[in-house]
Amino acid sequence: MTQLIIYPNDNGGVVVLTPAPECGLTIEQIAAKDVPQGKPYKIVDGSDIPSDRTFRNAWEYQE
């Protein structure tokens, strides 16, 4: 299953970062490059992300 990176945005929501499969970087390298500096993040499985996006902007990041 696809691994993703999640981190909190500045509005109390959550950003879901999808790695480009052809970029040649590991997911840890992508997190180091693309997650804003100082933001906590988690590497999660794609199946952990809700498939219903009806209330996408209400999603929250939990430590």
The answer to the question of residue 47 lying near other proteins (CB under 8 A) is yes
The answer to the question of residue 49 lying near other proteins (CB under 8 A) is yes
Question: 3 - beta bridge partners?
Answer: 45
The answer to the question of residue 38 lying near other proteins (CB under 8 A) is no
Q: Go through 3-29 and write b for each residue having 16 or more CB atoms within 10 A of its CB, e for each that does not.
A: ebbbbbeeeeebbeeebeeeeeeeeee
The answer to the question of residue 12 lying near other proteins (CB under 8 A) is no
Among candidate residues 39, 51, 44, the one with its CA nearest the CA of residue 19 = 44
**Sole binder of other proteins in the list 37, 38, 51, 62 (CB under 8 A):** 51
Give the residues lining the site for other proteins (CB under 8 A): 1-2, 4-5, 9, 13, 15-23, 25, 30, 33-34, 46-47, 49-53, 56-57
